[in-house]
A and B are shown apart, each in its own frame.
Chain A
Amino acid sequence: MSNIIEIKNITKEFKVLNRREGLKGSIKDLFSRDYKIVRAVDNISMTIQQGEIVGYLGPNGAGKSTTIKMMTGILEPTSGEILVGGNVPYENRTKNAQEIGVVFGQRSQLWWALPLVESFKILKDIYGVSDKDYEDMLALYQSLVDIEPLLHKPVRQMSLGQRTLSDILAAFLHNPKIVFLDEPTIGLDVSMKAKIRTLIHALNQEKHTTVILTTHDMGDVDALCRRIVIIDKGKMLYDNDIEHLKNFFGSYRTLKIRIDGSLKQLAEEIDRKLSDFKVSADDEWISILVDEEKATVMEVLSRLQQSYKIRDMQLEEISTEEVIKKIYEEGVQ
């Protein structure tokens, strides 16, 4: 397998005006400008291979968009090297654009008034797709999702889910080497989310397209990505397999128990007893986040049974969502 994206020590800095407060401050700003340098992306390196699906994660404002903009050639890095499919994106913007597809969950790139099939035909001409490749692609689409009812509908009249689906299909139409998906499932219902995940997965398998996925929905990550890259405040926090991430965080499991009585009070009581672990309560369960390096779940359970009559219990593995949340909040130690 070959590297489709190679990024070496890229940094992107922006000059931002230090705004003063209030009206007086705004007037002062007019005359004396005080700039500070903000480092949106700080010394990031990674290589991505053809055919991978990479989850690119980070809290809001972490520098995800900036990195994507550099990969798509919209921004020039302040320093560092970046190669996408052998091109330097910002130097060969047009050539790079031919090799990539981009989807923004909230911004449709299709012609608003035109039926989908007409948009496809215009894109076919813009990207110079041959008749045969075009027909094959449409046949593939038809086999994956039922596009027939969508084809003759103007994009303007589509539901958000149909529009996102159409945008994804449009992005893959010219069989690009890489597709960037920016929050593709944002605002969609559960069944549409599942449909879109299946579609992305199938297209990746079928066409061996590299997919860079930014999302805040860990369902997307669980369904699609084997590898995740996490950045925060412009710095790379993590770049590895998703399983590795969970181990990396120690073996956490959540023990849920049900006891008669006021769960809130009991939870506080237990919290004092088990000072090592985080205890919380909702309407039904008391949850204890057990770090199995300190004590096993069974040990915790037997300790609790000495003082309480446990009526019911559940055991949960830690979810990707919780791991990611922990990383965003505490970083990687």
Chain B
Amino acid sequence: MKRKGFGFYLRIYGKILAQDLKSKMSYRADFIISTIGMIFTNIAGFLSFWILFRNFPSIQGWGYYEMLFLYGFSLVSLTPVQCLFDNNWSLRIHVYSGDFIKYCFRPINLFFYYQSEVFDIKGLGQLAFGIGTIAYSWSQLGLGVTPLMLLKLLVFLITASLIMIALQNAAAATCFWIQNSFYVLDLVTRFKDYAKYPIAIFSPVFRFIFTFVMPIAFIAYYPSIVILRPEEVPLLSWLSPLFGVLFFWGSYKFWMYGALKYSGTGS
């Protein structure tokens, strides 16, 4: 049997995704309603942000457009976890009911196979909205478009996504040990809402928590500094790509460890 590499998995994913989208489109009402829902969610999210910043023109030295950039950055970096890893939300149900065992018999990577089953199309609207927000604030801040800047943006967006994915993987995988992991997953999701604020506004205790315990500051704040304030980049920002890769790898190992330990309930 030949070794299954990146290309193999990409091809399989592409096929599953194409079929999945096709079948989703065939439910027109469902598709339209979820699209409308998605648009409203984004508008509501932006509205609360906008109201806040109409009243406070700057927070701890962070101006409106800088905050807007942060907001857009967090939206884009949260897209991959929403689109590609949404099946993590169902993991505890599959595990609790014993259904998870059906994923264990395929000759391909279990983590991949499990996550490939669901693609959440709703995340795409968030992506478009986020890119728009970044582009708008980018031009208002007059950051200029150079290949280096774009490369930085790309690298740090990927970093931020990896960290969010890692957090969610780890939270979801707790269901291999505890009965109701929903609260863990929910907690992580709630915390990610704080990702769009500069952690400078929080007290030192929370700053510590958001950096080292629940590293949501890496989702938007530390990466954004590299682009917004190149003169005051902390070491943590430069380390964050490494940190993102390591953290993702660790969460993957944790997930797989739990999954392989899992033996299913009796038939």
B12 near A126 with CB under 8 A, answer yes
The answer, among B11, B12, B106, B266, for a CB contact under 8 Å with A97, is B106
The answer, among B11, B102, B108, B267, for a CB contact under 8 Å with A94, is B108
A72 near B105 with CB under 8 A, answer yes
Please provide the chain B residues from 1 to 28 with a CB less than 8 Å away from any CB of chain A in the complex. 1-2, 11-12, 15-16, 19-20, 23-24
Contact residues in A for B104 (Cβ distance below 8 Å): 72, 74
Report how many residues on chain A are interfacial, defined by Cβ distance under 8 Å. Answer: 33
> Known: A114-B20, A121-B15. Is A128-B99 also a contact (CB below 8 A)?
no
The answer, among B1, B19, B264, for a CB contact under 8 Å with A122, is B19
B263 CB within 8 Å of chain A: yes
B117 CB within 8 Å of chain A: yes
Please provide the chain A residues from 43 to 68 with a CB less than 8 Å away from any CB of chain B in the complex. 61, 64-65
Residue-by-residue, is A181-196 near B (CB-CB < 8 Å gives 1, otherwise 0)?
0110000000000000
A200 CB within 8 Å of chain B: no
Looking across the interface, which residue of chain B has its beta carbon closest to that of A180? B105
> Known: A61-B266, A74-B263, A125-B11. Is A113-B23 also a contact (CB below 8 A)?
yes
B150 CB within 8 Å of chain A: no
The answer, among A95, A109, A125, for a CB contact under 8 Å with B15, is A125
B142 CB within 8 Å of chain A: no
B105 near A100 with CB under 8 A, answer yes
Please provide the chain A residues from 86 to 134 with a CB less than 8 Å away from any CB of chain B in the complex. 94-95, 97-98, 100-102, 104, 107-109, 111, 113-115, 118, 121-122, 125-128
Contact residues in A for B52 (Cβ distance below 8 Å): none
The answer, among A65, A94, A102, A126, for a CB contact under 8 Å with B266, is A65
A125 to B15, CA, bound (A): 9
A95 to B104, CA, bound (A): 12
Looking across the interface, which residue of chain B has its beta carbon closest to that of A69? B263
A315 CB within 8 Å of chain B: no
A102 to B107, CA, bound (A): 12
B47 CB within 8 Å of chain A: no
A122 near B267 with CB under 8 A, answer no
A72 to B106, CA, bound (A): 10
B101 CB within 8 Å of chain A: yes
Between-chain CB contacts (< 8 Å), 15 pairs: A61-B266, A74-B101, A75-B263, A97-B106, A98-B1, A109-B102, A111-B20, A114-B23, A122-B12, A122-B16, A122-B19, A125-B11, A125-B12, A126-B107, A126-B108
Chain A: residues with CB nearer than 8 A to chain B?
A: 61, 64-65, 69, 72, 74-75, 94-95, 97-98, 100-102, 104, 107-109, 111, 113-115, 118, 121-122, 125-128, 154, 182-183, 214
